[in-house]
Structure 1
Amino acid sequence: MSEIQKTSAARAPFNNPDHDIVLRSVDDVDFHNFKLILSLVSPIFKDMFTLPQNESEPAVPIIPVTEHSTILYPLLLLSYPTAGADPTFDTIDDARAVMEAAKKYEMDAILYRIGDLIVAHFLLAHSLDVYAMSCLAGWWHHARTAAFWSLEIEGLGRPSSGFAGMGAINASDCHRLLTYHYECGIAAQAVGKTLEWLPSTPDVSGMQMWGCIGCGRVAFGRPTIQIASFGKWTVTPWFQEYLVASGKELAARPCEQALLESASYNRATAKARECLFCRTVMAHHHLHTFRTFYIAEVRKVIAKVKLAS
């Protein structure tokens, strides 16, 4: 004698006794719902409900679906007018499965809301996955946001497990992301090649990096660099080294964090202490102030780089 398959009822709000349709998940959880609600959010269900009902079928039809209850619950919750709260996703794979289910049932309005939730939950930790999912769903505004946050990935494009979530996108979308990362790197690296963007204030003109009477004076024959509107000045060796090294760091990782977590910044601070004059006038304080301006300018130039459409 075959064992009778047992089913269980979904938790609220999908346990309403006044329901007129049941969606049964692949793990045998029954979701009580209403034809009107499902018809409004999904043309697939709307067409399904217009089919003639067999007299042998129960008064309340039961429709088996291929989704697991952990996927069906957040999907239906987004369409329920009295749910009162947005669903949460345990993993980005769960979020991806809900997105695929919404596409399958052509729940376009819900699909956009899922995009907002995915960005809110996973953007910072899974920018590449969010980019890929956004490309697949046509969320181009989210794709641009995810591409921007992916700039924190150093050397994007090298073999990495970080690309695991991008297997479903086409080569064009992947190339757009890599091109964007590369162009942002070029723009960010160029910031340190001229400092004409610095404000022309007395505080800037008096910074130790180009005003040292010690290590700055032994830099005879060194190249000059434009400082604000003051002209081309020679900078200290330790600061010149910092500009070159931080530029390389930005080329590989064109974002604010590259400067905040920069190894070249720590080296510059240490080398500045080797000069009696730089150490005396707190060159590290001037370098910290400069980095604040540096970060602001990097943000500005990156904002001008657009993800190709």
Structure 2
Amino acid sequence: MSETQETSTARAPFNNPDHDIVLRSTDGVDFHHFKLILSLVSPMFDGMFTLPQSKSELAVPVILVPEPSTILYPLLLLSYPSAGADPIFNNIDDASAVLEAARKYQMDAIIYRIGDLVAAQFLPAHPLGVYAVSCLAGWEHHARTAAARSLEIKSLGRPSSEFAGMGAIGAVDYHRLLKYHYECGVAAQAVGESLEWLPSTPYIKRMQMWQCVACRRGPAFGRLAIQIASFGKLTVTPWFEKYLLASRKELANRPCELTLWESAESASYDRAIVKARDCLACQFVAHHELNTFRTFYINEVKKAIAKVNLAS
């Protein structure tokens, strides 16, 4: 900062008049702090304070630091014992800057706390950004969680605004994310190849999509026979066949439960219901039974995806 630049005092808790050290940010904000606290959380500051001090210097020392107050405040707040609240980051870039400052000052005790805050604040809306920061910081747990959340992004890998915050990520970490997304798509697709995972209950056996007498008389019936629970291979109705094939393609592009559940994404579901209206018998029960099937389907997709690991 310029020598003529005016300074101000940081807001609580860094405005304590009993302070014995001042950290001055690049934008002229003075943070009143205590040497003991800074020494405990940062070996760098500890070494600085153990250097010989001039006995004639009565004023509180001022240390100029190369961070702005927007970065310094959350950094110091995380290491302050009586702060009473965690900082809220404005965006992932600010969180990354705080992380880099924590590393520079060797504040190892708060680095993982920053990871928890980043995940809590940004994971729902910015999973790729959280993934990128987590990879750079070595937060493998948060990287896995963010990668799983990124499955909600359709056709991951195509250029899109979703990739904001990914600029600093390495090629290896980006590749393993794409590989994870692809393998989850393969696993999710495979769920619909056989329905042996369905419960072997009388209700399941009588479901319309493989027991419709009216559809059996139609010219399109009899094309696909598939394993149903433990009942053997049963031939499914045309509308259900189309649903299975289409939903599997949807899951390949977006391998998560929301693909099957959200009407905006699951065009296969809506088309199946419309197609079922061609059958006088199916049209009255298709919505209820397909919805019941979809509940089991989603649960099985979740299980399949959970078995896929994010490569290290």
Q: Hey, what does 1:251 align to over in structure 2?
A: 252
Q: Following the alignment from structure 2 to structure 1, what is the Cα–Cα distance between the partners of residues 108 and 217?
A: 67
1:295 equivalent to 2:295? Answer no
Query: Compared with structure 1, are the counterparts of its residues 263 and 57 closer, same or farther at alpha carbon in structure 2 (3 Å cutoff)?
Result: farther
8 A Cα contact 2:222 2:237, kept in partner:
no
TM-score (norm: length of structure 2): 0.95
Query: What SS class does the counterpart of residue 215 from structure 1 fall into?
Result: helix
User: How far apart are 1:51 and its partner, in Å?
Assistant: 2.2
Q: Which moved more, 1:268-277 or 1:130-139?
A: 268-277
Offset from partner CA, 1:80-132 (integer Å, 9 cap, x none): 10011111112222222211211221211111001000000000110001001
1:183 matches 2:187: no
**TM-score after normalising by structure 1:** 0.96
Post-superposition CA distance 1:46-70 (Å, at most 9, x none):
1221223356755311111111111
8 A Cα contact 2:223 2:235, kept in partner: yes
Write the distance in 2 (CA, Å) between the matches of 1:113 and 1:214: 62
What's 1:304 paired with? 307
1:187-206 correspondence runs (5 A): 187-206=187-206
Q: Any conservation in 1 of the 2:20–2:33 contact (CA below 8 Å)?
A: yes
Work out the CA distance in 2 between the residues paired with 1:22 and 1:252: 54
CA separation of 1:276 and 1:221: change in aligned 2, threshold 3 A: closer
Match of 1:97 in 2: 97
Q: CA deviation at 1:7?
A: 0.5
Q: Please state whether the residue corresponding to 1:63 is helix, strand or coil.
A: strand
Is 2:274 the partner of 1:270? Answer: yes
Whole-Å separation in 2 of the counterparts to 1:56 and 1:178: 62
More displaced stretch, 94-103 vs 137-146: 94-103
Equivalent pair of 1:210/1:216 in contact (CA under 8 Å)? no
**Which residue number corresponds to residue 287 of structure 2?**
284
Q: Which residue of 1 aligns with 2:163?
A: 163
Q: What are structure 2's unaligned runs of at least 5 residues?
A: none
Instruction: Kindly report which structure 2 residues correspond to 1:55-204, keeping only aligned pairs within 5 A, or say none.
Output: 59-204=59-204
Following superposition, the deviation at residue 221 of structure 1 comes to: 4.3
Corresponding residue pairs, total? 307
What is the identity, as a one-letter code, of the residue corresponding to 1:117? L
Give 1:290's aligned amino acid: F
Alignment of 1:7-46 (within 5 A): 7-46=7-46
Per-residue CA distance 1:120-170 (angstroms, 9 max, x = gap): 000011000100100100000000000000000111111223223122121
User: 1:161-191, CA deviations, whole angstroms, 9 ceiling, x for partnerless residues?
Assistant: 3223122121111111110000000000110
Report percent identity of matched pairs.
74
SS in 1 for 2:227: strand
- Structure 1 runs of 4+ with >4 Å offset: 54-58
Cα distance in 2 between the residues matched to 1:152 and 1:109: 33
Q: What is the root-mean-square deviation in Å for CA atoms of aligned residues? A: 1.5
Give the C-alpha shift of residue 45 in structure 1: 1.2
Contact 2:19-2:34 at 8 Å conserved across structures: yes
User: Which letter maps to 2:276?
Assistant: A
CA offset digits 1:206-263 (Å, max 9, x no partner) = 1111111112442454120000000000001111001011001000000011111201
Provide structure 1 residue ranges, at least 5 long, that are not aligned to the other structure.
none
